Protein backbone atom coordinates (compact mmCIF):
# COMPACT_ATOMS: atom_id res chain seq x y z
CA UNK A 1 0.00 0.00 0.00
CA UNK A 2 1.20 3.50 -0.77
CA UNK A 3 1.50 6.01 2.01
CA UNK A 4 1.11 9.65 1.22
CA UNK A 5 3.47 11.80 3.22
CA UNK A 6 1.56 14.59 4.85
CA UNK A 7 3.67 17.47 6.07
CA UNK A 8 7.38 17.44 6.17
CA UNK A 9 7.99 18.84 9.62
CA UNK A 10 4.88 20.82 10.37
CA UNK A 11 1.87 18.59 10.89
CA UNK A 12 -0.61 21.45 10.95
CA UNK A 13 0.54 22.75 7.58
CA UNK A 14 0.47 19.20 6.28
CA UNK A 15 -3.19 18.80 7.16
CA UNK A 16 -3.97 22.19 5.63
CA UNK A 17 -2.20 21.16 2.43
CA UNK A 18 -4.27 17.97 2.37
CA UNK A 19 -7.52 19.91 2.87
CA UNK A 20 -6.62 22.40 0.13
CA UNK A 21 -5.72 19.54 -2.21
CA UNK A 22 -9.07 17.85 -1.65
CA UNK A 23 -10.93 21.13 -2.17
CA UNK A 24 -8.98 21.73 -5.37
CA UNK A 25 -9.94 18.32 -6.68
CA UNK A 26 -13.55 19.07 -5.83
CA UNK A 27 -13.38 22.41 -7.66
CA UNK A 28 -11.83 20.63 -10.67
CA UNK A 29 -14.77 18.25 -10.71
CA UNK A 30 -17.24 21.13 -10.40
CA UNK A 31 -15.56 22.94 -13.27
CA UNK A 32 -15.78 19.86 -15.40
CA UNK A 33 -19.47 19.54 -14.66
CA UNK A 34 -20.03 23.25 -15.30
CA UNK A 35 -18.33 22.97 -18.70
CA UNK A 36 -20.46 19.94 -19.53
CA UNK A 37 -23.65 21.82 -18.68
CA UNK A 38 -22.53 24.92 -20.56
CA UNK A 39 -21.87 22.86 -23.67
CA UNK A 40 -25.08 20.87 -23.37
CA UNK A 41 -27.06 24.11 -23.65
CA UNK A 42 -29.28 23.46 -20.61
CA UNK A 43 -28.18 26.66 -18.90
CA UNK A 44 -29.05 30.21 -19.92
CA UNK A 45 -26.20 32.60 -20.73
CA UNK A 46 -26.77 34.33 -17.40
CA UNK A 47 -26.57 31.06 -15.50
CA UNK A 48 -23.35 30.09 -17.26
CA UNK A 49 -21.82 33.46 -16.46
CA UNK A 50 -22.86 33.29 -12.79
CA UNK A 51 -21.49 29.76 -12.43
CA UNK A 52 -18.23 30.81 -14.05
CA UNK A 53 -17.86 33.83 -11.77
CA UNK A 54 -18.48 31.71 -8.67
CA UNK A 55 -15.93 29.10 -9.68
CA UNK A 56 -13.42 31.80 -10.61
CA UNK A 57 -13.88 33.35 -7.17
CA UNK A 58 -13.33 30.02 -5.41
CA UNK A 59 -10.25 29.37 -7.47
CA UNK A 60 -8.85 32.82 -6.72
CA UNK A 61 -9.52 32.27 -3.03
CA UNK A 62 -7.68 28.94 -3.08
CA UNK A 63 -4.75 30.44 -4.94
CA UNK A 64 -4.35 33.25 -2.45
CA UNK A 65 -4.65 30.83 0.47
CA UNK A 66 -1.92 28.68 -1.03
CA UNK A 67 0.29 31.71 -1.59
CA UNK A 68 -0.19 33.09 1.93
CA UNK A 69 0.39 29.76 3.65
CA UNK A 70 3.18 28.70 1.27
CA UNK A 71 1.24 25.61 0.28
CA UNK A 72 1.87 25.67 -3.46
CA UNK A 73 4.64 23.11 -3.38
CA UNK A 74 3.11 20.67 -0.85
CA UNK A 75 -0.22 20.75 -2.71
CA UNK A 76 1.53 20.04 -6.04
CA UNK A 77 3.40 17.22 -4.36
CA UNK A 78 0.20 15.72 -2.93
CA UNK A 79 -1.56 15.94 -6.28
CA UNK A 80 1.39 14.19 -7.86
CA UNK A 81 1.28 11.46 -5.22
CA UNK A 82 -2.44 11.01 -5.76
CA UNK A 83 -1.93 10.74 -9.52
CA UNK A 84 0.65 8.03 -8.90
CA UNK A 85 -1.69 6.24 -6.53
CA UNK A 86 -4.51 6.25 -9.05
CA UNK A 87 -2.18 5.08 -11.83
CA UNK A 88 -0.93 2.26 -9.60
CA UNK A 89 -4.47 1.25 -8.74
CA UNK A 90 -5.49 1.17 -12.38
CA UNK A 91 -2.44 -0.87 -13.23
CA UNK A 92 -3.20 -3.34 -10.51
CA UNK A 93 -6.68 -3.80 -11.92
CA UNK A 94 -5.29 -3.93 -15.40
CA UNK A 95 -2.43 -6.33 -15.08
CA UNK A 96 -1.40 -9.28 -13.08
CA UNK A 97 -0.67 -8.00 -9.59
CA UNK A 98 2.26 -10.38 -9.33
CA UNK A 99 5.01 -7.97 -10.27
CA UNK A 100 3.77 -5.38 -7.79
CA UNK A 101 3.50 -7.66 -4.82
CA UNK A 102 6.36 -9.96 -5.46
CA UNK A 103 9.03 -9.93 -2.76
CA UNK A 104 12.35 -8.38 -3.69
CA UNK A 105 14.13 -11.71 -3.62
CA UNK A 106 13.56 -15.17 -5.03
CA UNK A 107 14.76 -18.42 -3.58
CA UNK A 108 14.09 -21.53 -5.53
CA UNK A 109 14.71 -25.26 -5.59
CA UNK A 110 15.70 -27.33 -2.57
CA UNK A 111 13.64 -27.93 0.55
CA UNK A 112 11.52 -25.03 1.62
CA UNK A 113 12.50 -23.86 5.05
CA UNK B 1 6.61 4.32 -1.64
CA UNK B 2 6.32 1.88 1.20
CA UNK B 3 5.13 -1.60 0.53
CA UNK B 4 3.28 -2.97 3.54
CA UNK B 5 3.17 -6.47 2.09
CA UNK B 6 6.89 -6.41 1.49
CA UNK B 7 7.56 -5.61 5.12
CA UNK B 8 5.45 -8.54 6.29
CA UNK B 9 7.40 -10.82 3.99
CA UNK B 10 10.68 -9.59 5.44
CA UNK B 11 9.68 -10.71 8.88
CA UNK B 12 9.88 -14.25 7.60
CA UNK B 13 12.69 -14.11 5.07
CA UNK B 14 13.63 -17.54 3.80
CA UNK B 15 16.68 -19.16 5.31
CA UNK B 16 18.99 -21.80 3.89
CA UNK B 17 22.33 -23.23 4.85
CA UNK B 18 23.90 -23.18 1.46
CA UNK B 19 22.83 -21.29 -1.59
CA UNK B 20 24.01 -19.92 -4.88
CA UNK B 21 23.25 -16.34 -5.82
CA UNK B 22 22.46 -16.41 -9.55
CA UNK B 23 23.30 -13.40 -11.75
CA UNK B 24 22.45 -14.81 -15.13
CA UNK B 25 22.66 -17.79 -17.43
CA UNK B 26 25.02 -17.82 -20.38
CA UNK B 27 25.59 -19.97 -23.42
CA UNK B 28 28.97 -21.70 -23.38
CA UNK B 29 28.61 -22.89 -26.94
CA UNK B 30 31.82 -22.18 -28.83
CA UNK B 31 33.56 -20.56 -25.87
CA UNK B 32 36.67 -22.03 -24.34
CA UNK B 33 36.53 -22.39 -20.60
CA UNK B 34 34.22 -20.94 -18.03
CA UNK B 35 36.44 -18.33 -16.44
CA UNK B 36 34.92 -14.94 -15.78
CA UNK B 37 37.02 -12.10 -14.41
CA UNK B 38 34.70 -10.04 -12.26
CA UNK B 39 33.76 -9.30 -8.70
CA UNK B 40 30.31 -10.04 -7.34
CA UNK B 41 27.95 -8.41 -4.88
CA UNK B 42 29.85 -7.56 -1.65
CA UNK B 43 33.11 -8.55 -3.37
CA UNK B 44 32.11 -12.22 -3.59
CA UNK B 45 34.12 -14.30 -6.07
CA UNK B 46 32.00 -15.13 -9.12
CA UNK B 47 32.10 -18.52 -10.86
CA UNK B 48 30.34 -20.27 -13.67
CA UNK B 49 28.60 -23.56 -12.93
CA UNK B 50 28.11 -25.37 -16.19
CA UNK B 51 26.06 -28.18 -17.62
CA UNK B 52 26.78 -28.83 -21.26
CA UNK B 53 26.46 -25.60 -23.18
CA UNK B 54 24.61 -23.74 -20.44
CA UNK B 55 26.38 -21.95 -17.60
CA UNK B 56 25.02 -20.24 -14.51
CA UNK B 57 26.99 -17.24 -13.23
CA UNK B 58 26.89 -17.55 -9.43
CA UNK B 59 28.54 -16.84 -6.12
CA UNK B 60 28.20 -18.78 -2.86
CA UNK B 61 25.84 -17.26 -0.32
CA UNK B 62 24.19 -18.13 2.95
CA UNK B 63 21.42 -15.58 3.07
CA UNK B 64 19.44 -13.27 0.86
CA UNK B 65 20.54 -9.67 0.47
CA UNK B 66 18.34 -7.35 2.43
CA UNK B 67 19.08 -4.00 3.97
CA UNK B 68 17.32 -0.85 5.10
CA UNK B 69 20.27 1.16 3.81
CA UNK B 70 19.29 2.39 0.33
CA UNK B 71 22.85 3.33 -0.58
CA UNK B 72 23.95 -0.20 0.20
CA UNK B 73 21.14 -1.66 -1.92
CA UNK B 74 22.11 0.68 -4.73
CA UNK B 75 25.70 -0.61 -4.60
CA UNK B 76 24.41 -4.20 -4.67
CA UNK B 77 22.20 -3.49 -7.68
CA UNK B 78 25.02 -1.80 -9.56
CA UNK B 79 27.33 -4.72 -8.80
CA UNK B 80 24.70 -7.22 -9.91
CA UNK B 81 24.27 -5.35 -13.17
CA UNK B 82 28.03 -5.09 -13.68
CA UNK B 83 28.45 -8.85 -13.33
CA UNK B 84 25.66 -9.47 -15.86
CA UNK B 85 27.36 -6.98 -18.23
CA UNK B 86 30.72 -8.71 -17.80
CA UNK B 87 29.13 -12.09 -18.40
CA UNK B 88 27.60 -10.68 -21.58
CA UNK B 89 30.99 -9.42 -22.74
CA UNK B 90 32.57 -12.80 -22.10
CA UNK B 91 29.88 -15.21 -23.31
CA UNK B 92 27.45 -13.25 -25.49
CA UNK B 93 23.86 -12.32 -24.66
CA UNK B 94 23.11 -13.51 -21.12
CA UNK B 95 19.76 -14.44 -19.66
CA UNK B 96 19.71 -12.02 -16.73
CA UNK B 97 18.14 -12.90 -13.38
CA UNK B 98 16.51 -10.43 -11.04
CA UNK B 99 18.62 -9.04 -8.25
CA UNK B 100 18.57 -11.30 -5.18
CA UNK B 101 17.66 -14.54 -6.89
CA UNK B 102 19.10 -17.39 -4.85
CA UNK B 103 19.20 -21.05 -5.70
CA UNK B 104 18.90 -23.22 -2.62
CA UNK B 105 21.66 -25.84 -2.52
CA UNK B 106 25.24 -26.30 -3.70
CA UNK B 107 26.94 -26.44 -7.12
CA UNK B 108 25.70 -29.98 -7.66
CA UNK B 109 22.11 -28.83 -7.14
CA UNK B 110 22.56 -25.97 -9.61
CA UNK B 111 24.15 -28.37 -12.05
CA UNK B 112 21.28 -30.83 -11.68
CA UNK B 113 18.75 -28.03 -12.28
CA UNK B 114 20.60 -26.85 -15.40
CA UNK B 115 20.68 -30.43 -16.67
CA UNK B 116 17.00 -30.91 -16.05
CA UNK B 117 15.98 -27.62 -17.69
CA UNK B 118 18.65 -27.79 -20.35
CA UNK B 119 16.36 -27.96 -23.33
CA UNK B 120 14.34 -24.93 -22.29
CA UNK B 121 17.41 -22.95 -21.27
CA UNK B 122 19.36 -23.70 -24.42
CA UNK B 123 16.38 -22.75 -26.54
CA UNK B 124 15.95 -19.47 -24.64
CA UNK B 125 19.65 -18.63 -24.88
CA UNK B 126 19.97 -19.46 -28.54
CA UNK B 127 16.85 -17.50 -29.36
CA UNK B 128 18.35 -14.43 -27.66
CA UNK B 129 21.85 -14.93 -29.08
CA UNK B 130 23.15 -11.74 -30.67
CA UNK B 131 20.10 -9.82 -29.46
CA UNK B 132 20.27 -7.01 -26.92
CA UNK B 133 17.92 -4.62 -25.26
CA UNK B 134 17.98 -0.97 -26.35
CA UNK B 135 16.20 1.90 -24.68
CA UNK B 136 14.84 4.89 -26.51
CA UNK B 137 13.50 8.02 -24.93
CA UNK B 138 12.13 10.84 -27.03
CA UNK B 139 11.89 14.16 -25.24
CA UNK B 140 10.33 17.37 -26.43
CA UNK B 141 12.68 20.03 -25.12
CA UNK B 142 10.91 22.82 -26.93
CA UNK B 143 7.10 22.71 -26.67
CA UNK B 144 5.04 23.10 -29.84
CA UNK B 145 3.89 26.68 -30.16
CA UNK B 146 0.37 27.17 -28.85
CA UNK B 147 -0.63 29.24 -31.89
CA UNK B 148 0.40 26.35 -34.16
CA UNK B 149 -1.85 24.00 -32.21
CA UNK B 150 -4.77 26.46 -32.31
CA UNK B 151 -4.45 26.89 -36.08
CA UNK B 152 -4.45 23.13 -36.61
CA UNK B 153 -7.47 22.40 -34.41
CA UNK B 154 -10.97 23.66 -35.20
CA UNK B 155 -12.17 23.32 -31.59
CA UNK B 156 -9.34 25.43 -30.23
CA UNK B 157 -9.85 28.09 -32.90
CA UNK B 158 -13.56 28.21 -32.10
CA UNK B 159 -12.97 28.43 -28.34
CA UNK B 160 -10.50 31.30 -28.74
CA UNK B 161 -13.13 33.24 -30.65
CA UNK B 162 -15.87 32.53 -28.09
CA UNK B 163 -13.64 33.55 -25.18
CA UNK B 164 -13.07 36.97 -26.70
CA UNK B 165 -16.79 37.67 -27.00
CA UNK B 166 -17.91 36.15 -23.69
CA UNK B 167 -18.63 37.93 -20.40
CA UNK B 168 -16.16 37.33 -17.56
CA UNK B 169 -17.80 34.31 -15.91
CA UNK B 170 -18.47 32.45 -19.14
CA UNK B 171 -14.97 33.31 -20.39
CA UNK B 172 -13.56 31.66 -17.26
CA UNK B 173 -15.33 28.39 -18.06
CA UNK B 174 -14.42 28.59 -21.74
CA UNK B 175 -10.80 29.22 -20.80
CA UNK B 176 -10.87 26.03 -18.68
CA UNK B 177 -12.30 24.12 -21.59
CA UNK B 178 -9.69 25.56 -23.86
CA UNK B 179 -6.89 24.40 -21.52
CA UNK B 180 -8.33 20.90 -21.39
CA UNK B 181 -8.64 20.74 -25.15
CA UNK B 182 -5.07 21.98 -25.47
CA UNK B 183 -3.89 19.16 -23.19
CA UNK B 184 -5.83 16.66 -25.30
CA UNK B 185 -4.34 17.96 -28.52
CA UNK B 186 -0.82 17.81 -27.11
CA UNK B 187 -1.42 14.27 -25.84
CA UNK B 188 -2.76 13.18 -29.23
CA UNK B 189 0.23 14.64 -31.06
CA UNK B 190 2.53 12.85 -28.61
CA UNK B 191 0.69 9.57 -29.14
CA UNK B 192 0.84 9.94 -32.93
CA UNK B 193 4.55 10.67 -32.84
CA UNK B 194 5.16 7.64 -30.60
CA UNK B 195 3.06 5.35 -32.82
CA UNK B 196 4.93 6.38 -35.95
CA UNK B 197 8.27 5.78 -34.27
CA UNK B 198 7.15 2.41 -32.94
CA UNK B 199 6.08 1.31 -36.39
CA UNK B 200 9.37 2.34 -37.94
CA UNK B 201 11.45 0.69 -35.21
CA UNK B 202 9.41 -2.49 -35.47
CA UNK B 203 10.94 -2.99 -38.93
CA UNK B 204 14.36 -3.37 -37.35
CA UNK B 205 13.64 -4.87 -33.93
CA UNK B 206 12.27 -8.22 -32.90
CA UNK B 207 10.09 -6.66 -30.23
CA UNK B 208 9.17 -3.11 -29.30
CA UNK B 209 7.56 -2.28 -25.97
CA UNK B 210 6.28 1.05 -24.87
CA UNK B 211 7.21 1.90 -21.28
CA UNK B 212 5.40 4.28 -19.01
CA UNK B 213 6.09 7.81 -20.09
CA UNK B 214 7.22 8.92 -16.65
CA UNK B 215 10.33 7.16 -15.53
CA UNK B 216 9.75 5.28 -12.28
CA UNK B 217 11.88 6.69 -9.53
CA UNK B 218 14.79 4.40 -8.91
CA UNK B 219 16.89 3.98 -5.82
CA UNK B 220 19.66 6.02 -7.39
CA UNK B 221 17.37 8.95 -8.12
CA UNK B 222 15.66 9.35 -4.77
CA UNK B 223 16.79 12.92 -4.43
CA UNK B 224 16.80 13.79 -8.11
CA UNK B 225 15.66 17.29 -8.88
CA UNK B 226 12.36 17.96 -10.63
CA UNK B 227 12.57 17.80 -14.39
CA UNK B 228 13.56 20.79 -16.45
CA UNK B 229 10.18 21.36 -18.08
CA UNK B 230 10.97 19.01 -20.95
CA UNK B 231 8.13 16.70 -21.93
CA UNK B 232 8.70 13.01 -22.56
CA UNK B 233 7.06 12.01 -25.83
CA UNK B 234 7.63 8.30 -25.34
CA UNK B 235 9.90 5.72 -23.78
CA UNK B 236 10.44 2.50 -25.68
CA UNK B 237 12.46 -0.59 -25.11
CA UNK B 238 13.48 -2.82 -27.99
CA UNK B 239 14.87 -6.28 -28.40
CA UNK B 240 17.00 -6.16 -31.50
CA UNK B 241 19.85 -7.99 -33.12
CA UNK B 242 23.18 -6.23 -32.77
CA UNK B 243 23.41 -6.08 -36.56
CA UNK B 244 20.31 -3.85 -36.60
CA UNK B 245 21.84 -1.28 -34.29
CA UNK B 246 22.99 1.03 -37.08
CA UNK B 247 19.60 0.92 -38.80
CA UNK B 248 17.85 1.78 -35.54
CA UNK B 249 20.31 4.62 -35.00
CA UNK B 250 19.43 5.89 -38.46
CA UNK B 251 15.70 5.97 -37.70
CA UNK B 252 16.40 7.79 -34.44
CA UNK B 253 18.68 10.32 -36.14
CA UNK B 254 15.78 11.35 -38.33
CA UNK B 255 13.59 11.90 -35.28
CA UNK B 256 16.33 13.89 -33.57
CA UNK B 257 16.45 16.22 -36.57
CA UNK B 258 12.86 17.33 -35.97
CA UNK B 259 12.60 20.70 -34.27
CA UNK B 260 12.37 20.62 -30.50
CA UNK B 261 12.89 16.87 -30.17
CA UNK B 262 15.75 15.15 -28.44
CA UNK B 263 16.41 11.40 -28.57
CA UNK B 264 18.19 9.41 -25.90
CA UNK B 265 19.34 6.01 -27.11
CA UNK B 266 21.08 3.59 -24.76
CA UNK B 267 22.28 0.03 -25.07
CA UNK B 268 23.18 -2.62 -25.76
CA UNK B 269 21.85 -3.93 -22.44
CA UNK B 270 21.32 -7.51 -21.37
CA UNK B 271 17.70 -8.29 -22.29
CA UNK B 272 16.25 -7.58 -18.83
CA UNK B 273 12.78 -6.82 -20.14
CA UNK B 274 12.69 -9.69 -22.59
CA UNK B 275 14.08 -12.58 -20.58
CA UNK B 276 11.49 -15.34 -20.21
CA UNK B 277 10.58 -16.48 -16.71
CA UNK B 278 11.13 -20.10 -15.84
CA UNK B 279 11.97 -22.47 -13.04
CA UNK B 280 9.69 -24.81 -11.24
CA UNK B 281 6.47 -24.51 -9.36
CA UNK B 282 4.38 -21.39 -9.79
CA UNK B 283 2.94 -20.50 -13.15
CA UNK B 284 4.25 -17.33 -14.70
CA UNK B 285 2.48 -14.47 -16.40
CA UNK B 286 2.56 -16.09 -19.79
CA UNK B 287 1.64 -19.52 -18.52
CA UNK B 288 5.25 -20.62 -18.31
CA UNK B 289 6.88 -21.70 -15.08
CA UNK B 290 8.94 -19.28 -12.99
CA UNK B 291 11.06 -19.57 -9.86
CA UNK B 292 9.02 -20.21 -6.77
CA UNK B 293 9.50 -17.39 -4.34
CA UNK B 294 10.52 -18.01 -0.75
CA UNK B 295 7.48 -16.39 0.73
CA UNK B 296 4.35 -15.17 -0.85
CA UNK B 297 3.76 -11.56 0.09
CA UNK B 298 0.27 -11.47 -1.27
Task: State ipTM.
Answer: 0.73
Lowest mean pLDDT across A4-13, B149-158, B250-259, B269-278: A4-13
> Which of B170, B280, B295 lies closest to A103 in CB terms?
B295
Does residue B281 form part of some domain? Answer: no
- How many Å lie between the alpha carbon of A36 and the closest alpha carbon of chain B? 9
Under 8 Å CB pairs connecting chains A and B tally to 126
Does residue A104 form part of some domain? Answer: no
pLDDT value at B207 more than 90: yes
Residue B190: Cβ within 10 Å count? 18
What's the mean pLDDT in A38-52? Answer: 92
Does residue A107 form part of some domain? Answer: no
Q: Beta strand pairing status for B54-61 and B47-51?
A: antiparallel
Q: Please name the residues in contact with B167: beta carbons below 8 A apart, sequence gap of 6 or more.
A: A45, A49
> B193 with B234: CB under 8 angstroms?
yes
A109 to chain B: nearest residue by CA?
A: B104
Residue ranges making up the domain that contains A88: 11-94
Distance CA B203, CA B207 (A): 9
A40-74 per-residue burial string, b: 16 or more CB within 10 A, e: under 16 = eeebeeeebbebbbebbebbeebeeebeeeebeeb
What is the pLDDT at residue B6? 43
H-type alpha helices, A1-113? 11-40, 45-68, 72-94, 98-101
Shared-domain flag, residues B139 and B219: yes
Does residue A105 form part of some domain? Answer: no
Does residue A106 form part of some domain? Answer: no
Q: How confident is the model at residue B44 (pLDDT cuts 50, 70, 90)?
A: very high
What is the pLDDT at residue B160? 93
| More reliable by pLDDT, B4 or A96 | A96
A2 and B285: CB-CB below 8 Å?
Answer: no
Q: Which tens digits make up the pLDDT trace of B260-277?
A: 899 999 989 999 988 877
B1-27 per-residue burial string, b: 16 or more CB within 10 A, e: under 16 = eebeeeeebbeeebebeebbbbbbbbb
B4 and A1: CB-CB below 8 Å?
Answer: yes
Q: In terms of Cα–Cα distance, which of A3, A4, A8 is closest to A71? A: A8
Q: Which tens digits make up the pLDDT trace of A50-75?
A: 999 999 999 999 999 999 988 889 99
Q: Beta strand pairing status for B101-104 and A106-108?
A: parallel
B237: left (phi over 0), alpha (psi -120 to 50) or beta: beta
Does residue B293 form part of some domain? Answer: no
Does residue B165 form part of some domain? Answer: no
Q: How confident is the model at residue A4 (pLDDT cuts 50, 70, 90)?
A: low
Shared-domain flag, residues B47 and B87: yes
Q: In terms of Cα–Cα distance, which of B179, B93, B166 is closest to B133? A: B93
B281 and A108: CB-CB below 8 Å?
Answer: yes
What's the mean pLDDT in B182-190? Answer: 93
Does residue B116 form part of some domain? Answer: yes
Does residue A28 form part of some domain? Answer: yes
> B297 with B14: CB under 8 angstroms?
no
Q: Which of residues 40-69 of B touch A (CB under 8 A)?
A: 64-66
B103 and A49: CB-CB below 8 Å?
Answer: no
Does residue A101 form part of some domain? Answer: no
Q: How confident is the model at residue B80 (pLDDT cuts 50, 70, 90)?
A: very high
What is the pLDDT at residue A101? 43
Does residue A25 form part of some domain? Answer: yes
Q: Which residues on A lie below 8 Å from B166 (Cβ)?
A: 49
B101 and A97: CB-CB below 8 Å?
Answer: no
B24 — contact with chain A (CB < 8 Å)? Answer: no
- If one counts the domains in chain A, the total is 1
Shared-domain flag, residues B87 and B140: no
Residue ranges making up the domain that contains B202: 133-145+191-269
Shared-domain flag, residues B54 and B97: yes
A103 and B171: CB-CB below 8 Å?
Answer: no
B9 and A103: CB-CB below 8 Å?
Answer: yes
pLDDT value at B15 more than 80: no
**Residue B239 sits in a domain of what CATH number?**
3.30.70.260
Distance CA A43, CA B188 (A): 31
Q: Which of residues 36-75 of A touch B (CB under 8 A)?
A: 38-39, 45, 48-56
Q: Please name the residues in contact with B289: beta carbons below 8 A apart, sequence gap of 6 or more.
A: B277, B278, B279, B280, B281, B282, B283
For B60, list phi and psi in degrees, rounded to 5: -75, 135
Lowest mean pLDDT across A55-69, B61-75, B216-230, B244-258: B216-230
B16 and A3: CB-CB below 8 Å?
Answer: no
What's the mean pLDDT in B124-143? Answer: 92
- If one counts the domains in chain B, the total is 2
Does residue B298 form part of some domain? Answer: no
Distance CA B28, CA B210 (A): 32
What 3-state class would DSSP assign to B243? helix
Q: Beta strand pairing status for B207-211 and B131-140?
A: unpaired
Among B101, B155, B169, the residue to mutate for chain A (most A Cβ within 10 A): B169
Amino acid sequence: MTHIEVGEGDAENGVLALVVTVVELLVDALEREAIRRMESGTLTDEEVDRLGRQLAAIEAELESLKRDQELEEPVDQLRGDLDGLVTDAIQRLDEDARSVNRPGYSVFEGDAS
Amino acid sequence: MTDGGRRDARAETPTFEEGRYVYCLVSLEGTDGTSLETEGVEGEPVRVVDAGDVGAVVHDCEEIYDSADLERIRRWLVRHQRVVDDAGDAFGTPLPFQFDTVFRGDDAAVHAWLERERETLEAALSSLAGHWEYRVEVVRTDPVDESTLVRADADLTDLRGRIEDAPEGAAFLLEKRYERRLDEVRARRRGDRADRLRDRLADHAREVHELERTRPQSVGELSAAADDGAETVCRLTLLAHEAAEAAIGGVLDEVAEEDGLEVRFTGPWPPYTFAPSFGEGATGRDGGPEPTTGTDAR
